[in-house]
Structures are given as structure tokens and as C-alpha cells.
Amino acid sequence: MKKILVTGGTGYIGSHTSVELLNAGYTVVIADNLSNSSIDVVDRIEEIAGKKISFHKVELCNRTEVDLLFEQEKDIDAVIHFAAKLQVNQSVQEPLMYYENNLFAQINILQSMLKFGVKHFVFSSSCTVYGNPDTLPVTETAQVKKAESPYGNTKQMGEEILEHSCKTKPIEAISLRYFNPVGAHESGLIGEVQHGVPHHLVPYITETAFGKRPFLNIFGSDYKTPDGTCVRDYIHVVDVATAHIAAVEQLLHGLNKKKYEIFNIGTGIGYSVLNMVNAFAKATGINIPYQLSPRRAGDVEAVYADTKKALSELKWKARYTVEDMLCSAWNWEQKQRGIIN
Ligand code: UD1
């Protein structure tokens, strides 16, 4: 059984990926500092998969702790690195915290990998690197635009660190550029935990459906899109998780065409904000009250993925529909609120 280290494994995408890794027969080691997640998630992952994982509470920004982790967990075959801070607004307020947290952690892990002879690394990147793309759907070769936020910049810099490290060091890596991951595991045991007012669209929709928010503000209705609202490529978090299994297998089987590769992880379909509100009503029977509001600073007009490279090289494609995504998000919201068991 191959052993995979999942940093940030108790977080939103990390927890879903850990479940899929266990389902696929891998041994899973999670390293997380629990700064934005809870230890209960470990039990939930184990409950869903019916298998045990090894958990380490680690500050990845501390080089000594990372070395100790690699020393204790011998024979790690690959690392999937999720652990990062990810709030765009917060990153603008606290740039140094973001650069320190996101970059130091990645560098420390790569250094430990070199020291302990671990070769394979999968990185959580984001479609945010494309900014407002010139052509749609956007391919992996599209120009990387100057980042609008320190968060976005840590993703761009993270990719560059990998590109340069793969050139001269015994490291092979894949960056997965996620589009907009949404939804939750069908069990309703794991999902995206909200702290305060949600920034992202789907949690805001489900909190409005639940009655916690009186209405949804739709940020901008004068974009040059079919209905005037922004267009995104929403993708089920379980599909994002299976993309990581495909990426790890690509590396473990030596199938990467180059030592460093980048893949878009999306469905390839663009949905506007209004499309999402309507799809939620169709999927759940609940109409979301909304108000058309001014544009939100930093939002791009439209972005959706060209998914051909992931299909032809990783043999991966998204399986879930937007209704599946929204039903699972609503199921998660209701379970958290104790409306359903
Ligand atoms: C952005 C990044 C994504 C990154 C994420 C991290 C882009 C294209 N995407 O997601 O890669 O992982 O930040 O935080 O850069 N909306 C409303 N009302 C709301 C909330 C959102 O209308 O209450 C709209 C937004 O204006 C946007 C869409 O819904 O048009 C999606 O927003 P959100 O869920 O926040 O994701 P992005 O900003 O696309």
C-alpha cells in the first residue's frame, strides 16, 4: 500500500481527498495544525471510509516539525499539499501572514522531501492565476495574470517554486488549478465549514435557504455575460478529490510528460450566479430571495476551464452535475443545523 501525506487533510478539499485516497486503497497520513478545522474531521473521514488514518498536529511553517513528521512517517510515497490560508480579503489585510504561512510551509515540505528522498508532490493551485482570461474556455497555456491579492500571488509563487525545483532537484510535481469547488460528501459528514458570514456563493445560498441570511446579494448584474452576472466553473468537491487520485497515480506510475505539469480541474461548463440560484431552486424546490447589488472588488467577469488536458493525460473528468453539487451542499447545511440526521 502506497503511503500519501495529505497536508491540510482535515480541511474542506483535503478531507474529501483523504476519503477518496482511502477508498482507492492508499495509506493516508494527515498533517494539519487545526487552525481552520477540527479534529472531529479525522473520525468522520474514518467513519466514511471504514479505515484508519494517521494524524499529526504539525506547524508546517516550522522546519523542525516538518522534518520530524517525515522521520516518524517513514516511506512516504507522495505528498498532496492543501494546507494554506485561502481568504482573499484577509490576505489583502494581512499579506505577510499569507506569504509566511503559504510559502514557508511549501518550502519546508519540499526541503524535507529532498532530505528524506520523497519525489512526488501535488499542489493545490487555483484558476485565480488566470485573472480575467483573454479567451474562454481557458487552457493551461493561457497567460498567468498579475495576481490581484497576496492569496493569489502565493498560488502563482507556489507554482513557480515547483517549476524551478523540478528543473534541478529530484522532485516531480503536478499543480492542479481548481476552478470553483462546491458541495459536500453525500454522507453529509464532511463539507465546507463556515466561520461567520460566508464569502463564497454556494454557502451563502444554503445559509439563505436555511433562513440564516434574509437574501443573497448578487454582486454585479452589468457584466458582459448572457444575464449580466459573473460566470464560473463550479465543480463538485468529490470530483476535485478524485482528480488528486489521478494526479498521484500519474506521478507514481511515472506518466508525467514533464517533471512538472499543470492541469485545470473544472467541468468546462460556465454557470452564472443567476444560473446557480435557479439550479438551486430546481434541485431543492427552494427559491432563494436575492437582490442585485454592486460589483464586488476583485471579481473577474467570466472564467471556465478547458478540460481536455486533464482528460487526455490524467484520464480524469468531472462526473457530477450542478444539481448534484447543490443538493449535496444543502444536505450538508441541513445536517450541520440538525434539521436532518
Ligand atoms: C475565487 C477564485 C478561486 C479561489 C477563491 C478563494 C477566481 C475566478 N476564483 O473564487 O479560485 O479559490 O476565490 O476564495 O478568482 N457571489 C455573489 N454573492 C455572494 C458571494 C459570491 O454574487 O454572496 C458571486 C461572486 O461575485 C462570483 C461568484 O458568486 O461571481 C462566485 O464567487 P465565490 O464563490 O466567492 O468564488 P470566486 O470569487 O469565483
Q: Which pLDDT score, from 0 to 100, does residue 338 have? A: 85
CA angle 240, 244, 303 (to 5 degrees): 40
Give 149 Cα–ligand 1 centroid separation in angstroms. 13
Q: Is residue 300 part of a domain?
A: no
Q: Which pLDDT score, from 0 to 100, does residue 148 have? A: 87
Total domains present in the chain: 1
Helical (H) or strand (E) element with 281: helix 273-284
Selecting among 98, 151, 234, 260, the annotated active-site residue is 151
Q: Are 31 and 59 in contact (CB under 8 A)?
A: no
Give pTM, 2 decimals. Answer: 0.97
Of 105, 98, 38, 124, nearest in space to 65 by CA: 105
pLDDT tens digits, one per residue of 302-314: 999 999 999 999 9
CATH number for the domain that contains residue 62: 3.40.50.720
Q: Is residue 200 part of a domain?
A: no
Residue 325, amino acid:
M
Give 179 Cα–ligand 1 centroid separation in angstroms. 10
Q: Which pLDDT score, from 0 to 100, does residue 337 have? A: 87
Integer Cα distance of 50 and 131 in angstroms: 41
Stretches where the chain sits below pLDDT 70 are none
Its domain, for residue 45, covers 3-183+234-266
The residue with cell 432563494 is 288
Q: Whose CA is nearest to atom 1 of ligand 1?
A: 128
Give catalytic status of residue 151 as yes or no.
yes
Residue 126 CB: number of other CB atoms within 10 A?
A: 23
pLDDT tens digits, one per residue of 246-303: 999 999 999 999 999 999 999 999 999 999 999 999 999 999 999 999 999 989 999 9
Q: Is residue 305 part of a domain?
A: no
Q: Is residue 191 part of a domain?
A: no
Residues 6 or more apart from 134 whose CB is under 8 A from it?
A: 142, 143
Q: Which pLDDT score, from 0 to 100, does residue 294 have? A: 98
Longest C-alpha distance within the chain, in Å? 55
Q: Is residue 118 part of a domain?
A: yes
Our mutation pick for probing the ligand 1 site, out of 36, 123, 128, 288, counting the most ligand atoms within 8 A of Cβ, is 128
Helical (H) or strand (E) element with 79: strand 78-81
Q: Is residue 317 part of a domain?
A: no
Q: Is residue 178 part of a domain?
A: yes
Q: Which pLDDT score, from 0 to 100, does residue 325 have? A: 98
Helix (H, G, I), strand (E, B) or coil at 48: helix
Q: Is residue 320 part of a domain?
A: no
Of 246, 252, 254, nearest in space to 312 by CA: 246
Q: Which pLDDT score, from 0 to 100, does residue 341 have? A: 77
